[in-house]
Structure 1
Amino acid sequence: MTASSSRWYDRGFAGTYVHAALGPIASPSVDEVRRVVAQTVRAAPDGPAAASVRGGSARRRTSVDPEALARRLVQPAPPLEAEGRGVDAELADRCARDAAPQDDLPFRLGVGPDSVTLAWCHVLGDAGIANGALSGIVAAALGGALPAPLIEPTSAGVTRAALRSVVTSTRELPRANAVPAPPAGSGGRPSSPGVAHLSVDPVALRSLKLRARDLGVRRSSLLIALAEVALRTDGLAPRDDIRTVVVDCRRYLPAGAVVRGNFAAGQALRARWDDPADVDRAIAGALDQARPVLGLLAAAIPRRATPGSAPPGPFPVRPDYSVIGPLRGVNALPWSGAPSFVVAGRPGRPDAFGLTSTEIKGRLQLTVTYDRAGVDPGSVVAVLRTIEASLIGSGTLTRTPGEST
C-alpha cells in the first residue's frame, strides 16, 4: 500500500425503517411537542386545508386536523436506560417496533423524559424530513424555558445496533452490466439499497484543497461541482439543477447551548452544477437564512403525512449519515474543522442516488447511497473511481489491499 490510498466498500441493505435516538436531553413533554407540531402545521404556508393527497397520478385536496395529526405523529417513548451510556440495543429494538411509522405516515416521533427518538419510513430523498424532525425537536427543547442541557448523541455502536434492528437482511442483486429498473410508479419495484464509500487520504486531500484555494471558493462547493462533473462523465449526471445541502441546526439554537456532534436538516437549493462559484453562493445564501428548522419541517408535514400521500412500498432505505471507521461515538470523531456534511442527490427516481462528503481527521469521505434495483452496483464503484480521478487526478490513489469493491 502506498502512502496515498483510498478505501472502498460496497454493501447492500434491505428493509423499510430507520431508527435514530438522541439523549440524554431535557426534552419537552409529549403534550408540549404535540402542541408545537400542531401550531406549526396550522401555520404552514399553504395552511392545513391545502394539503395534497396523491392517488396514482392524480392529486386531490383534503383537510388536515393539526391536533389529530400531532397526536398520531408524536408518541411517548421510554427513558434512556443509563445516563451517559445512551440507548442500548434492546431498547433500540423496542423503540423501533413501538414507534414504527404507520402506513400513511412517513415518520413518528417518540418523546421520553430524557430523550427523543425518531423512526421513519425512508424513501430516497426524504432525509430532510427525518433530519428536520429530530433537529426541530432539539431546537424546540432548547429554545423554550428549559435549561440548556448537554446534548449527547448515541454511540456509534448503538447506531449500528439500531440499524440492525430495522434493516433486517442483506441481499445482492446480480452484478450485470445493467440492472433493469421496473416501471416508475408500479408500486411493486424491488428494493435493495446499497452504500458505496471512498476515503481519500490526507496527502491527496491537500492537493484538492490547493485546487479549491486557486478557484477562490469554499471546498464544499468544489466537491459538489467536481463530483457532478465526474457523474456526468460516467453517464449518471442529474437531469435537473436541484441540490440538497445539509445545514447544521446549531445556528438555530440559543446562545450558550452546548451541542456535540452534527445535528442537521436537509435544505434544497438551486445552483448550476458546473459552476463552483454559483454553488458556493447558493450554499452561503441557504446558511444565511435564519429560518428555524421546525418551520421547514412543518411546511412539509401536510404533504408528507396526509393519508394516501406516502408512495406504495416497498421502500429503499438510505442512511442519513455514515459512521466511518472504528469509532466509539460521534463525539470521538476527530473532525478536521467544524463538523459538516455536504450532500448532492438525485431523489425520487428509480435510479436515484445521493452523494455525501465530509472531512474527518484530514481524510475526505465520499459516500454514495443508491437503490440496487435501479442502479448497477458496479456502475456505482465506477462513479467513485471517476470522482476520485476527477478530484485528485488519475493514478494518484491506489485501492487499499483487502478492501472489497
Structure 2
Amino acid sequence: MSMHSASSRDLMRSGSRMITAIGPVRLPSTGEIRDTLTVLAHAGGRHTPIGLVPTTESRRWEHRPQDFLGVRQLGPCTREEVPRLLTRLARAGASARPLNVAVAGDFLLLDISHGLGDGRLALALVRAVAGGRTGTPVPEWARTRDSALPLARALTRAFATSPARVAQLLEPRPSITPDAGPVGTVPWRRSPTAVVESAVSGTTAELRRWRDRELPGASVSSLLFAAIARAMRSRGLTVDDKVDVLFDCRRYLPDGATVNGNFAAGVRFALSDPGDAAEMSAAIAEATASGRPLASLALSIAKFRRRMRAGTAHTEAAHVAARPRARLVYSDMGEAALLADLDWTDEPGRRIVTALSEPADPASIVFTSVRRGPELDVSASLHDNVFDPELVRDALADALCDPLSLLSRRIV
C-alpha cells in the first residue's frame, strides 16, 4: 500500500458521490469487470484516480488496488426502471469503497466517489468497463498522471496579463429579485431521487435550427436550460432567479496538460429570468470568454481550505426553507462519443446514458444532460421531501417534448 497526496480540488468533492447508468449494452461478466478495474488501478499506480481510497479528513489518501472496488450482480432491469434503481443506490448511503459497480441485466451502474474525478472520469470509466474484456488494451488516460499545478498553470495562462481581472470576476452579482428577508426553515434530511426523460431523436438538431434563426451564436445547452426553467415554472414550481451552471475548466489549460481528477467549477448567475434563452446564453458565453469559471474554481478552493481549518468543510445541511425556491443547477456532459461503439442490445430510441448527482443544497435540482448523436437524455436529481418528483418529471418531459414551443412563448 502506498500513499497519495490528493489535490484540494479532489478533497473538496470527496464527501459526495456520482452514480452513472448506461444500457442496454452487452456487458462483460462481473469477473471480467473486476479484472478490468484492477488492471486500471495498477496501470497508473497511485498517480491516477483508480485504486485510490478518498477520505474527507485529509489529503493523504491510500492507494489500495487490491481493496477499492465493489462489484455485484442485481436482478434484470428495464430502461424504465433505471431512475428507480439510481434512487435506490443513492439512498443506500455512503459505501466503504470508492468505486462500486452494479450489473442489472444489460444495464451498468457505476457509483463513484466524487473525490476521484468529475463527469469526464465517469464516462471514461463507463467506456472502460462496458467495453473491457480480456485482452482489451489499457486506455491511455489510466496510465497518464496529472500535470503538476494545473490550476496555477491555467490561471497564469488566462490572467497573467491582467491579474486584477480575477477579483473583478468574483465581485458579487446582485440578485434581480429583492431579498425577501428572514426565511422560516424546517428540519430536513437527505432523500435523493432521480427522474430521467429522453428527447426524441433529432430534437437537438431542431434546437440548432431554431438557434440559427433566432439566436445565432447561442449554445444548444443554454437553449435547453432556458426551456427547462420555463417548463418548471409553467408546472407551478417557484424558480429562483439565481442558477448554477457547471463548467469543465480543462478548456483553460495549456496544450498537453492533463487532469484526470476534478477540474470542473460551478458558476452562479443572477438572471432577471432563467427562462430567457437570450439572457441565459449571453451569461454563459460571457463567463466562458472571461475565464470566470476558472476564477470561481480558485475561490471555491480558498473557501474550502478555510472551512477545513475550521472543521466545517463537509458539514451537511440539516434544514431547508419552509417555502423553498428551486435553485436550478445545470450540467451538460456533452456528446458521449466514446460510448458510440459499445455493443448496444436495443435500437437507439431505447438506449440511455444518465446520472444521479445528489444536490448538496436541499433546495437545488441538478439537471444533467448527455447527448448520444441525435439523441438526448436529461436527468433531474432532487430531494423528494422538498420537491414533488412527479411534478419535476412532468416539467422535464414538457421541455424535451417541445422545447421550441416553450422558447417561442413571449416572456411575461
**TM-score, length-normalised on structure 1?**
0.48
Q: Indicate the structure whose relative CO is greater, using CA pairs within 8 Å and at least 6 residues apart.
A: 1
**TM-score, length-normalised on structure 2?**
0.47
